[in-house]
Amino acid sequence: MANQGVERSTEAAKLKAAGALVPQVAIAGVSGYAGGELARLLLRHPGMQGSAPIFLGRAGETSGVTTTIEEIHPHLAMIAARPSHAVEPFNWDRLVDAGTKILFMATPHEQSREWVPEAIARGIRVVDLSGAWRLKEDANRAVYKLTDADASVAAKLQAEAVFGSPELHREEIRTARLVANPGCYSTSVILALAPLTRAGVIDLDRGIICDAKSGVSGAGKAPTSKTHFMSAADNLSAYAVFGHRHTGELLEQLHVAADQIQFTPHLLPIPRGILSTIYVRLKKKTAVEEISGLFSDFYESSPMVRLHATPQLPQIQHIVRTNFCDIGFTLAEDGQRLVIVSCLDNLLKGAAGQAVQNMNVMLGWKEEEGLL
């Protein structure tokens, strides 16, 4: 940890010496779990050089109320030199006057769909953590039941929105005005399968089975009967079978048909973390070395993906509170039955950490800056 602190200080010193301008960023929706993680990461990000983000509540959250990010998230109280950072009511003039370059939207899908066109019109680039802009096809996006004040403007923005997986769309993200952060489940499954689907080695006619399990924080901060301690503790339950909203992301990013992949999520009685176990059959008998080569070549320039050497498999305890996605696999003796295991922290690589990773790409910084 000490070495990481030295590296962050050194990088900040380099930026300062080079006369690099500190970009003003803002977070809308800081009260949730993802908003809190965004605040933590950006307050200590070396590229910010001590310049705090603008913290904004969701619509109506802070009207007439004075609060601070430290009151909402007490674990942030000692993270910066300033004793506190105010959470302000959302205000477009405030963002424009401050010269905001990037706005993180940690807001409900409907609110992001409403506010993003206004942000883009005002020259502010957006990283949206909701599902409002992730999906290109109307049939897939229908699960969110979104409406638009101006359908033509929304359609143009939807067409230019970039799916915010740096490992898949790094070059498009660099110049994007609107980056749609992927879902947590979909990130774990897409990163596990993309090297194989793009190489065309999976027998899609035999189908892909994705058995994914997530901690309770994946359901958001608002409590429900299913996430109540009495329901979640000492339990494991499947939900949203044949209807989870992240399924569309798998179809669009992996270029598979709905009848070629089955994704079933489960609720784990832990605070955070995702483990996805994925079952595929290969088109022909394949050696372990060939599979390893597909993964290592695909992720050669991806610092946030860690590959496990067979027969080691990832575990949640090794990725929690990190921005890594760990991937490992086991190949059956027949050389055709393959099981891939993918692990990540749903609040970091599955949400806030990946959003900061996207910001780094958009600003031309090292992809892993402020995330190690």
- Is 325 one of the catalytic residues? no
**Start-to-end Cα distance in the chain:** 9
Q: How many residues does the chain have?
A: 372
Cα three-residue angle 170-172-173, rounded to 5 degrees = 65
CA dihedral 189, 321, 35, 5 (to 10 degrees): -130
Which of 184, 210, 325, 343 is the catalytic position? Answer: 184
| Distances 211 to 77, 274, 341 between C-alpha atoms, Å | 38, 11, 10
Separation between Cα atoms, residue 122 and residue 116, nearest integer Å: 10
Q: Are 306 and 326 in contact (CB under 8 A)?
A: yes
Tokens of 67: 């609060």
Tokens of 25: 């960023």
Q: Is 219 exposed, middle or buried (0-12, 13-18, 19+ CB in 10 A)?
A: middle
181 closest CA partner among 113, 274, 105, 240: 105
Tally of CB atoms within 10 A around 175: 10
CA atoms of 37 and 43, how far apart (whole Å): 10
Active-site positions read 184
